Chains A and B, each alone.
Chain A
Amino acid sequence: MTSEPMTQPETYPKTDETRKGKEAVIRIRDLYKSFGPVQVLRGFNLTLYERENLVVMGKSGSGKSVMIKCLVGLMDPDSGYVEVLGQEISGLGRQQLDQLRSDIGFLFQGSALYDSMTVRENLEFPLRRHREKLGNPKDTLPLVEEALENVGLAHAIDMMPAELSGGMKRRIALARTLILKPRVILYDEPTSGLDPITAKEIIGLMRRIQQKYGTASLIITHDVDCARVVSERILLLVDGVNYAEGSYAELAGNADPKVEAFFKK
């Protein structure tokens, strides 16, 4: 690991496949993506290991959300290699991709709860296609209740999303992410738009979930407090390429102006 700026993607050192005995669950190599003339990702690299919390930080428009969408097949990269849980995304058919997605949880920035469904229906929705993963249970209510208890909102089971506050929506979205017991969870700005107290609650929840289920987490955030609390490793994305990498303490003490800009209070 290094906290030195890395401006040349081709010289970026490929991370080992295992780290402290942990297998890699996500590997991204030389990822390129552009929208018209705008090059968003320019040779991005990333490795996430099992049971690890990796935070990716970067300015708005630096390509963080694009990268995370390439990971679950919501966007196709222009070039590069994306592997999740040992499977290369670009080589998967629709069915295989859907199967793989049952092991990937995705917490969207705006929660993305289905407006027309109750909380219970929202949580049951992912089970429509992946019931067999949980042993084809006849009654899904215990699964829904367990997921809601994990986020402390068992009483909200019959509520509509419109009746929930921003923080409650985010927690319900997290419960929906958890219901399939994923091995990897991708968080897209998990604390954005929340007040500091609710943001702290969400951060605490993320840690508890990681400890309880042993998931690997890839967290995209602007929130330095969130990065400080949850990260084991932070990767800084600048202009579509890896710029610096290290622990919170390493990066917070880095004198490089671009790194300092993120951590300066």
Chain B
Amino acid sequence: MNNVASIKDRVYLFLAEIGELAAFAGRFFREVARPPYEFRELLRQCYQVGNRSLTLVLVTGFIIGLVLTLQSRPTLIEFGAVSWMPNMVGISIVREIGPVITALICAGRIASGMGAELGSMRVTEQIDAMEVSGTNPFKYLVATRILATTLMLPLLVVFGDLIALFGSALVENLKGAVSFRLYFNTVFEALSYGDLIPATVKSFFFGFVIGLVGTYKGYYCKKGTAGVGKAANTAVVIASLLLFFVDFVAVFVSDIFYDL
């Protein structure tokens, strides 16, 4: 009986959390549309999210391009299909691997950072101090961060994709004597709008989810410094899970429009 009650409680808490997150998202759309606009803080957050995540995204993207090509090469050679390497790597990186890996890296770095930063501001009453000084903390702290991640993630994905393709081209150049020009020509010939548009659109949603979950967990942080750690941790877990869910929906919807 206790187990049943515990499961019921957990389901209730889960549903309540989903409801609160949806309400938080609704508040974001209301606040972001109304003046005054916090442009300076938005630019500062774009810099924080974009520039400071770029190195990590580039390094990871480069390694993924290298590894994917190295691992796929023997199999493609076995089937006599090594000339399909640029097409295969290009499509898989642009459609799926690039956006998802970049988003997961950003969920780890950005969502946890936002959860910890806002959580710490909440428990030390900095958010209350902001409210009392006449600045809307939701608009200043939350709306700018969500907007910054939504705008910056697609850019990071573009950089991540390009460097991953460069890594792949490097392996092909060293192992298969394929020129960089030929490699990139083949990749771009293989790609269509059906690959690029859904990937770009879902990157915006990924950015929105990362910003939303990170700020939500931090903004409503409770229970002192232990709560700050928990906010950072759960922000990463929930953002990562939601990213896969959004990815599933995005692939499903793209399949309808582009007949993948």
The tally of CB-CB contacts under 8 A between chains A and B is 50
B128 and A112 within 8 A (CB): yes
A101 and B125 within 8 A (CB): no
Contacts of A98 in B (CB 8 A): 134
Contacts of A102 in B (CB 8 A): 134
A76 CB, min distance to chain B CBs, angstroms: 13
> Complex formed: what's the CA distance from A176 to B132 in Å?
12
Cβ-based interface call for B234 (8 A): no
Contacts of A74 in B (CB 8 A): 128, 131-132
Cβ-based interface call for A20 (8 A): no
Q: In chain A between 108 and 130, which residues have their CB closer than 8 angstroms to a CB of chain B?
A: 108-110, 112-116, 125-126, 128-130
B126 and A115 within 8 A (CB): yes
Give the residue of A99, A112, A116, A129 whose beta carbon is less than 8 angstroms from that of B129: A112
Cβ-based interface call for B6 (8 A): no
Q: In chain B between 77 and 125, which residues have their CB closer than 8 angstroms to a CB of chain A?
A: 117, 120-121, 124-125
B135 and A128 within 8 A (CB): yes
Cβ-based interface call for A212 (8 A): no
Contacts of A176 in B (CB 8 A): 133
Residue of A nearest to B38 (CB): A128
Cβ-based interface call for A243 (8 A): no
> Complex formed: what's the CA distance from A116 to B133 in Å?
17
Cβ-based interface call for A49 (8 A): no
Give the residue of A109, A125, A126, A130 whose beta carbon is less than 8 angstroms from that of B125: A109
Query: CB-defined interface of A177-205 with B at 8 Å, one 1/0 digit per residue?
Result: 00000000000000000000000000000
A114 and B126 within 8 A (CB): yes
Cβ-based interface call for A54 (8 A): no
Residues of chain B at interface, number, CB under 8 A = 15
Give the residue of A108, A126, A128 whose beta carbon is less than 8 angstroms from that of B128: A108
Give the residue of B117, B125, B135 whose beta carbon is less than 8 angstroms from that of A112: B125
Cβ-based interface call for A104 (8 A): yes
A129 and B133 within 8 A (CB): yes
Cβ-based interface call for A82 (8 A): no
B165 CB, min distance to chain A CBs, angstroms: 37
B136 and A101 within 8 A (CB): no
Size range of the interface on A? 20 to 34
Contacts of A128 in B (CB 8 A): 133-135
B133 and A101 within 8 A (CB): yes
A177 CB, min distance to chain B CBs, angstroms: 9
> Complex formed: what's the CA distance from A94 to B136 in Å?
9
A108 and B134 within 8 A (CB): no
Contacts of A130 in B (CB 8 A): 133-134
Give the residue of B120, B126, B128, B131 whose beta carbon is less than 8 angstroms from that of A113: B126
> Complex formed: what's the CA distance from A104 to B134 in Å?
11
Contacts of A116 in B (CB 8 A): 117
A115 and B134 within 8 A (CB): no
Give the residue of B120, B125, B126, B135 whose beta carbon is less than 8 angstroms from that of A129: B135
Cβ-based interface call for A241 (8 A): no
> Complex formed: what's the CA distance from A125 to B130 in Å?
8
B133 and A125 within 8 A (CB): yes
Contacts of B135 in A (CB 8 A): 125, 128-129
> Complex formed: what's the CA distance from A74 to B134 in Å?
12
Contacts of B125 in A (CB 8 A): 108-110, 112
B128 and A129 within 8 A (CB): no
Give the residue of A99, A101, A112, A129 whose beta carbon is less than 8 angstroms from that of B124: A112
A126 and B126 within 8 A (CB): no
A79 CB, min distance to chain B CBs, angstroms: 22
Cβ-based interface call for A72 (8 A): yes
Contacts of B133 in A (CB 8 A): 101, 125-126, 128-130, 176
Interface centre among B120, B121, B129 (most CB of A within 10 A): B129
> Complex formed: what's the CA distance from A109 to B128 in Å?
12
Q: In chain A between 160 and 183, which residues have their CB closer than 8 angstroms to a CB of chain B?
A: 176
A115 and B120 within 8 A (CB): yes
Contacts of B132 in A (CB 8 A): 72, 74, 101, 104, 106
Can you name 25 A-B residue pairings with CB atoms under 8 Å? A69-B128, A74-B128, A74-B131, A101-B132, A101-B133, A102-B134, A104-B132, A106-B129, A108-B125, A108-B128, A110-B125, A112-B129, A114-B121, A114-B126, A114-B129, A115-B120, A115-B124, A125-B130, A125-B135, A128-B135, A129-B133, A129-B134, A129-B135, A130-B133, A130-B134
Interface positions of B (Cβ within 8 A of A): 117, 120-121, 124-126, 128-136
Instruction: Please list the 4 inter-chain residue pairs (A to B) with the smallest Cβ-Cβ separation, ordered nearest first.
Output: A129-B134, A126-B133, A112-B129, A98-B134
